[in-house]
């Protein structure tokens, strides 16, 4: 059982709040604040109830252009929360501890990017994570820990599993909502349809194996690069351009895994019936039995025949779970598959969208009306296959305030 903000006596309590505000960066400025907006309810509630809030978060990965400080995030949170939000360029040093100690009721400080410290980019079991410099340095000035970073909950890093091992831990409102919806996937209405697309082929095949083996999926619809891999596994000649892309991404072995899936569960796996390529500057659709395409042409989207086929399956569905776009939706020429397939999914009684690229596609295409859009990518995938999340397990097993 996980405690939530309803169980936390907030007033006068110094709370470390782990959020996931990992955002697109343009010249060290925020290019999209969607992930910050997701945490406004949790942070506002804690501040309005008189909490003293220290925000913990990461941004980017070492060596990346988006590996920057959290100063712009603090500035944006000041606007979103409509109150001053301080920033300190430290996470667990004397400067960080002093900034946290100096907080009054209803005040907030954003601590520096947790990944600026090497331990945070490593994964530990909770007991070892609790002995890292980050946790040992900061925990003494905190009374409680709130995890609202569902999107990072599949990681076992110090800021996610170390703090709730030594402090009373609580789920924030984002985490609570995600667990309520995704944690009961087995109880959603049937038939249950999973749509797997995008370019993260190994993860998608893992999902397909898991949901089919566990009987969670009545149908799995394939699209995007994932769909292309399944087509090749089904001995469809997609041409050199699509095949070379799959090979260059290191996904060639995934074709064998897709073939094994088709052998075991082929009656429940739907493959594209046509694909869209660029020909003479325009969208051109080719039936699978008319492939391969011309030299230089790659499968960039599913075609209208596939859409009609998939929409017929969705008409009878009780639940649809979507993860990954159906094509190169960033190009207006090839947004059709993603836009129309997701649009059809909104008519299903229970429609759940995984995070990451899928949520980004929805925002860009303006598709709305889903039962739930997750803030997480990898974390959502694990929950949708009924797999445990390390950060959630740490909250479940940690100390309670009244222990």
Residue 384: predicted pLDDT: 79
Residue-level pLDDT at 315: 97
Tell me which of 67-76, 150-159, 200-209 is least confident: 200-209
What does the block give as tokens for 61?
């990965």
Tens of pLDDT, residues 319-358? 999 988 999 999 999 999 999 999 999 999 999 998 666 7
What does the block give as tokens for 88? 């300190």
φ/ψ (deg, to 5) at 353: -115, 125
> What percent of the chain lies above the pLDDT cut of 90?
84
Residue-wise pLDDT for 243-275, tens only, equals: 999 999 999 999 999 999 999 999 999 999 999
For residue 364, what pLDDT is reported? 83
Alpha helices (H) along 105-223: 126-129, 133-138, 163-166, 173-182, 201-213
Distances (CA, A) of 5 to 17, 50, 169, 170, 367: 11, 13, 10, 6, 31
Helices of type H across 39-139: 40-48, 71-81, 94-101, 126-129, 133-138
> Of 229, 309, 227, 233, nearest to 271 (Cα)?
227
| pLDDT tier, 387 (very low <50, low <70, confident <90, very high otherwise) | confident
The mean predicted confidence, pLDDT, of the chain is 94
Q: How far is CA 247 from CA 196, 229, 255, 327, 388, in A?
A: 20, 10, 10, 18, 32
Stated pTM of the model: 0.85
Looking at residue 378, its pLDDT comes to 80
pLDDT of residue 403: 65
Q: Could you read off the pLDDT of 265-303 as tens digits, one per residue?
A: 999 999 999 999 999 999 999 999 999 999 999 999 999
Mean pLDDT for the stretch of residues 375-397: 88
pLDDT in the model for residue 217: 95
Instruction: Provide the pLDDT confidence category of residue 389 given band limits of 50, 70 and 90.
Output: very high
């Amino acid at each position: 059982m996980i405690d939530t903000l309803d169980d936390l006596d907030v007033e006068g309590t110094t709370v470390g709040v782990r959020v996931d505000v990992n955002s697109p960066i343009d010249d060290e400025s925020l290019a999209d604040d969607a992930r910050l907006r997701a945490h406004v309810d949790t942070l506002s509630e804690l501040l309005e109830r008189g909490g003293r809030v220290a925000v913990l978060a990461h941004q980017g990965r070492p060596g990346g252009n988006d590996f920057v400080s959290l100063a712009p995030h603090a500035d944006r949170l000041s606007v979103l929360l409509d109150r001053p939000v301080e920033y300190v360029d430290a996470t667990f040093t004397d400067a960080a501890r002093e900034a946290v100690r100096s907080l009054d009721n209803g005040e907030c400080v954003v601590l520096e990017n947790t990944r600026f410290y090497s331990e945070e980019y490593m994964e530990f079991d909770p007991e070892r994570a609790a002995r890292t410099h980050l946790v040992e340095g900061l925990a003494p000035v905190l009374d409680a820990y709130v995890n609202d970073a569902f999107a990072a909950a599949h990681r076992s890093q110090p800021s996610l599993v170390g703090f709730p091992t030594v402090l009373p831990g609580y789920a924030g409102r984002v985490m609570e909502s995600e667990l309520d919806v995704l944690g009961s996937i087995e109880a959603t209405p049937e038939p249950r349809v999973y749509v797997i697309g995008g370019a993260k082929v190994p993860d998608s095949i893992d999902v397909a194996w898991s949901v089919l083996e566990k009987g969670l999926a009545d149908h799995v619809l394939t699209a995007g690069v994932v769909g292309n891999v399944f087509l090749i596994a089904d001995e469809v000649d997609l041409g050199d351009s699509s095949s070379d892309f799959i090979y260059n991404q290191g996904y060639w072995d995934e074709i064998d895994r897709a073939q094994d899936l088709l052998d075991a569960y082929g009656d429940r796996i739907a493959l594209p019936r046509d694909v869209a390529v660029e020909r003479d500057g325009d969208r051109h659709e080719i039936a699978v039995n008319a492939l391969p395409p011309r030299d230089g042409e790659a499968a960039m989207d599913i075609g209208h025949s596939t859409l009609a086929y998939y929409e017929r399956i969705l008409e009878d569905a009780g639940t649809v779970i979507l993860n990954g776009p159906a094509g190169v939706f960033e190009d207006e020429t090839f947004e059709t598959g993603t836009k129309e397939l997701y649009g059809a999914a909104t008519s299903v009684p229970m429609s759940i969208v995984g995070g990451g690229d899928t949520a980004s596609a929805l925002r860009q295409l303006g598709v709305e009306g889903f039962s739930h859009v997750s803030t997480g990518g990898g974390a959502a995938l694990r929950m949708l296959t009924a797999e445990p999340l390390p950060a959630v397990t740490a909250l479940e097993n940690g100390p309670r305030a009244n222990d």
